[in-house]
Structure 1
């Protein structure tokens, strides 16, 4: 984590990955994130998708890092009284529930705003808090399906199935088909809108209500494909547009090539200056003339002969040779790891520090996914491992002035 949101307190009322992922990102930026859970059933992501130890699933360890856990029974008046005392110290409220749930508990946006006009309230759900689908509970693949990211066909026997994508090794394939992509896609937009709302609050004193849909987040992150598809009928000059039916498979200058060591590089010399530079550096100046000078970017689509020439050139050396050449000569050629392990071992990815080693809740050294942004002078760190259910209840209530005897009564009565 960095310290960019140091001093900002976030209350998170969420289970599973939607609201929890927003809190994770804000925690990555240094916010103090307090996860509010029912005393009877906490965030059951702890028990989904395998476990490292009891109630410590990989998803929980990643999605709930940095946070403290407080159990509060919001269905009881005494629980809500404690909530409002904590709320007075908060800057942000993350609501990962369907619209109306927090209202029925008596802690919805209007009541929060009445008590604290500067509160930044972010509702993050699969389908959004308005519209005909707002009341539908969702899981990740539902969010992707609404965004068209889970394309399906119906077989002759009437069974529906998801269209297979390109062959992907199991560690990556599992991630892409889990639905986690959607929750992460929307969470990014939720987090940066929260940060922007905090700037507005500091300027005007007014908070904000932010309604974020994970499905819409998937569309926003896939804006290139969505933009071209929705406006295809307005594009008059199609000279350098690829055939949508082949989608890059017959591109030559923007293509994957196997190197001598069996690893793969992605060749991307579509601008003429890069093509010329590559041909010279590779000792093949005779290939420079094989370009369409009328195009700003030449993909050389369908040029079978040229593709074979490039394959014959690339296969003469290991992948590292070509990547080093690219760095030295200013040429767009990059590595294309085929497994998550290869990604983690890549020298550039190691430098970026996206994979971060730190203790998990049981003290094991865990590989966390960190932040893609590097803040100068603020190296990434995990504030604390993901919490146990209600792990920090005693200390948080003590901070609110609750005495030991009062805490004992609250626990006995099922309030915390």
Structure 2
């Protein structure tokens, strides 16, 4: 056992697919947990086919959230397949799944059945709307949730159509909540040795992610409008057009705004109606017009460098080529490469940096079913004849 890996010795049985929970189990695998990913024979996780681009036969989508895992293929619709999952559940610490409400009960893989096999297991379910409520029967998709949760109503320009975030952000947020809940449950298990059931909903996580915008509505009672790249409560805090391209400016307090006015040497910015943030919010249009007329006179790099030099938050709007050529990412070891059966795999590294612990050395995202034989033989101690039978019956 490698004591420097925080979750070394923890086994996770992962019946999830697509993005949210695979993202959660990847985080846990980075921290040292052994993740056994259960996939459908022949087809596997549907994201294996979500491309192009592909590295060999593996989609970039699948590769982004499945490193450091083992892959086994099991047909859970068959009794023998269900027995394999039961046997694995008996020796695992965590069971995760993102099937529709009630679907796994048909196969005796729901929490009530699994906890009979392992009374101390942490069981995490992620569904669209949770296990109860009038919408609990509906499936969950990030795009749909961005609309239903109100996130799209506050994203995009005022005159344009509502916009989704450019990445499946609610899947990512839900995956983070799942990882936190699983870790908390494992910690609790050290004190009270009993099973925990985690009922997570994409919808709940989506609404929770509204943060201050939700609070603004609940306190003020006013339906928020779309501000594009501006901020509803802070001004100036938005995108500006420079001479050559756009850049971001985030003046977060009155002291920073005072510095800004001194740097720009523009008398009109020193008016009383711009002195406090609340005043600037009320006089947003007039202030932004003045600032925009100044910023368009010089290139974005001039303004960004000037403001950063004086500790005023500002930054470029980079495309991904510019992002992955940034020396900061290399300094933080955020760009990794490993040898994959189909070539070199470049990927974004883990953001977890622990002073007195380490994270797992990156391993390839598994090929479909590559670990089935090893898991059945070495973890479950199945006989060779039994494994051959399961294979011949297309159960694995």
TMscore range, shorter length: 0.7 to 0.9
Counterparts in 2 of 1:380 and 1:116: CA distance versus 1, 3 Å: closer
Q: 3-state SS of the aligned residue for 1:402?
A: coil
Asked whether the 8 Å contact 1:200–1:207 carries over to 2, the reply is: no
Match of 1:256?
Answer: 239
Separation in 1 of the partners of 2:195 and 2:291?
57
- Give 5+ residue unaligned stretches, structure 2: 155-159
Match of 1:406?
Answer: 386
Give me the TM-score of the superposition, normalised by structure 1.
Answer: 0.80
- Report how far residue 94 of structure 1 moved: 0.4
The within-5 A match list for 1:326-337 is: 326-331=307-312, 333-337=313-317
Separation in 1 of the partners of 2:371 and 2:184?
29
Counterparts in 2 of 1:29 and 1:377: CA distance versus 1, 3 Å: same
Determine if the alignment matches structure 1 residue 390 to structure 2 residue 387: no
The within-5 A match list for 1:6-405 is: 6-53=8-55, 55-151=57-153, 164-165=161-162, 176=166, 180-233=168-221, 244=225, 248=230, 253-259=236-242, 262-280=244-262, 282=263, 284=265, 286=267, 289-292=270-273, 295=276, 299=280, 302=283, 306-307=287-288, 309-311=290-292, 313-314=294-295, 318-331=299-312, 333-360=313-340, 362-368=342-348, 370-376=349-355, 383-399=362-378, 400-405=380-385
- Report how far residue 285 of structure 1 moved: 8.0
Separation in 2 of the partners of 1:276 and 1:292?
13
Q: 3-state SS of the aligned residue for 1:299?
A: helix
Separation in 1 of the partners of 2:281 and 2:358?
43
- Give 5+ residue unaligned stretches, structure 1: 153-162, 167-172, 236-241
Separation in 2 of the partners of 1:48 and 1:3?
32
Counterparts in 2 of 1:300 and 1:181: CA distance versus 1, 3 Å: closer
Asked whether the 8 Å contact 1:48–1:57 carries over to 2, the reply is: yes
Q: What count of residue pairs does the alignment treat as equivalent?
A: 386
Counterparts in 2 of 1:287 and 1:272: CA distance versus 1, 3 Å: farther
Separation in 2 of the partners of 1:73 and 1:148?
38
Give me the TM-score of the superposition, normalised by structure 2.
Answer: 0.83
Alpha-carbon RMSD across the aligned residues, in angstroms, is 3.4
- Report how far residue 6 of structure 1 moved: 2.5
